[in-house]
Structure 1
Amino acid sequence: MNDRPDSLADAPLGRESAYPEQYDAGLLYPIERAINRAPLGIEEDALPFVGEDEWHAFELSWLNARGKPIVAVARFRLPASSPRLIESKSWKLYLNGFNQSRFASTERVVRVLEHDLSEAAGAPVGVEVFGVDDPVLTPRALPGESIDEQDIEIADYTPSAEHLTVGEVIVEETLHSHLLKSNCPVTGQPDWGSVMIRYRGPKLDREGLLRYLVGYRQHQDFHEHCVEHIFTDLMARARPERLLVLARYVRRGGLDISPWRATPGEWPPSPLRLARQ
């Protein structure tokens, strides 16, 4: 019996797959964002946030015109306003198809990636390709203050916005936690991550915030939707003037995903990568 959501009925995720040896744009498997946004009350024509899904591909390789392998790291930026996200295993299979395919130049590879990913997502996708020793890939630390050292007892591992409470003092601060964990909605595999929250508004109770974030530990959802869930809960419970939620998930299968969602006018720090990514 197939108990997958309809949007994943034919996806390669959770299935045995043959790894391609030649380029094939048809391997990309788009998923409508509206399916998971509807339960959060998010309407596609009136998004309550701006944002992007930033991906890094650490296993990108192709052959040059003479058959010599080239290896690189790619950064992709998929707009949160795109009608579709792209399922991660299909993305991995698609990139593997480059391994034995010849391209005349790196610029040509970038153009092909931009075209195919934009077609799948339904919106322009930004692509950058770096050499494996490029200093831009050097790991950095998340900005702000960690809330992980609180000595609290936790027994609830499902996300509950009831944990989110605020005081009367208006503050502007950046907080982060490395205790984020959710699970793949199809395979149940763990997805480890870190989350940063920057806001201006009534001061968040840090104990409650940590309980809330740890609540995702047994939650099954895509990375992108976890971030949107956190954003909408914080907006509803804390009502900040400004808010940015950014998650940086540990790579799996050579890909990491780092979604961010924010109130208009807010932007994340310059591209950063954590040591465990």
Structure 2
Amino acid sequence: MNHSPGAADSPLGRSTSYTDHYDPLLLFPIARAPQRAAMGIEGRPMFFGADLWTAYELSWLNARGKPQVAIAQFMIPAESTHIIESKSFKLYLNSFNGTRMADSEEVRQRIRSDVSAAIWHDGPVGSSAGVKLVLPDDFDREPIHEMDGLNLDRLDIDCDRFHPAPELLSSAVDEQPVTETLTSRLLKSNCPVTGQPDWASVQISYTGPQIDQAGLLQYIISFRGHDDFHEHCVERMFMDIWTRCKPAKLAVYARYTRRGGLDINPWRTSHPCPLPANVRMARQ
């Protein structure tokens, strides 16, 4: 039986030797299942989605040894059995720094193959990771845009809960359903290994009984002392809103600020729909 590694086994929080020669074994997968089980999710989740990553520090050498740079964008399907621990992802991308590649397409294909294998932990690849390289000639076309929706942060509220408190959530189940999109820039959680803060904005789109906005904002803020990976925080948020507020449709999308040249932006939805645009925000 394959050992399914956990966060405690990862390079995160440890002194690490950096290599600049290509090494796919640096990628460290962490199983999604244990955290999902802790949220009451057994077997196939009821949500769809993806984790959208952006890497701003990708470089390699061309055939003549001249350094090349690019921004890499990744789409990790939420149905994959594993996530990739972020420090290991950075170490893996750094391993291209001193490696000669024929062109950017060889880099893209190699990353796609390695990441796809890692997120299925050497099992059958159910769906490959998406990889796009943005080359320097296109850097100036990369937009900055804040999340669309009604900003919850305008509300003047008392906050005294700093660990996830789903009991703060409620909705008007006896009234006509609504369709709306709500946003906040006040999401913060902490790395479960190092305790470092992870800052994010979140967008909640739904159709169903109108969600109490003050309670929702207090709930978002209640993650401020919570230790977990970005992907698990968004899934917990999705499941709490789904269970407590009873929407007919729900999508939760968080964009976290970058650390180590990487940002991670999980998106979960109850229904099939297009991926959100992977457009960075001002704080990213």
Q: What TM bracket, shorter-length normalisation?
A: over 0.9
Identify the residue that residue 48 of structure 1 maps to in structure 2.
46
Q: CA deviation at 1:272?
A: 1.7
Change (3 A) 1:21 1:270: closer
Q: CA deviation at 1:265?
A: 2.0
Residues 85-94 or 133-142, more deviating: 133-142
**Counterpart AA for 1:91:** F
**Counterpart AA for 1:170:** P
Q: CA deviation at 1:149?
A: 1.4
Q: Cα deviations across residues 228-250 of structure 1 (Å, max 9, x unaligned)?
A: 00000011011111110000000
Q: CA deviation at 1:136?
A: 4.7
Identify the residue that residue 130 of structure 1 maps to in structure 2.
134
The correspondence for 1:264, drawn from 268, 271, 275, is 271
The 2-side partners of 1:270 and 1:178 are apart by: 18
Change (3 A) 1:24 1:105: same
The 5 Å alignment of 1:11-26 reads: 11-26=10-25
The 2-side partners of 1:9 and 1:239 are apart by: 36
The 2-side partners of 1:121 and 1:154 are apart by: 37
Q: CA deviation at 1:6?
A: 6.5
Change (3 A) 1:204 1:268: farther
Q: CA deviation at 1:14?
A: 0.5
Identify the residue that residue 88 of structure 2 maps to in structure 1.
90
The correspondence for 2:65, drawn from 60, 64, 67, is 67
| Long gaps (5+) in structure 1 | none
The correspondence for 2:158, drawn from 153, 165, 171, is 153
Please say if 1:194 is aligned against 2:194. no
The 5 Å alignment of 1:95-114 reads: 95-114=93-112
> Is the 1:244–1:268 contact (alpha carbons within 8 Å) kept by the matching residues of 2?
no
TM-score (norm 2): 0.93
> Is the 1:244–1:266 contact (alpha carbons within 8 Å) kept by the matching residues of 2?
no
> Is the 1:243–1:266 contact (alpha carbons within 8 Å) kept by the matching residues of 2?
no
Q: Percent identity?
A: 50
Q: When the two structures are aligned, how many residues end up with a matched partner?
A: 272
> Is the 2:59–2:68 contact (alpha carbons within 8 Å) kept by the matching residues of 1?
yes
> Is the 2:5–2:31 contact (alpha carbons within 8 Å) kept by the matching residues of 1?
no
TM-score (norm 1): 0.95
Residues 163-172 or 175-184, more deviating: 163-172
The 1-side partners of 2:114 and 2:163 are apart by: 37
Q: CA deviation at 1:96?
A: 0.4
Q: CA deviation at 1:268?
A: 4.4
- Residue 154 of structure 2 aligns to a residue whose secondary structure is coil
The 5 Å alignment of 1:225-264 reads: 225-264=232-271
Identify the residue that residue 147 of structure 2 maps to in structure 1.
142
Task: Please list every run of at least 4 consecutive aligned residues from structure 1 whose deviation after the TM superposition is greater than 6 angstroms.
Answer: none
The 1-side partners of 2:274 and 2:180 are apart by: 14
**Counterpart AA for 2:208:** G
Residues 221-230 or 119-128, more deviating: 119-128
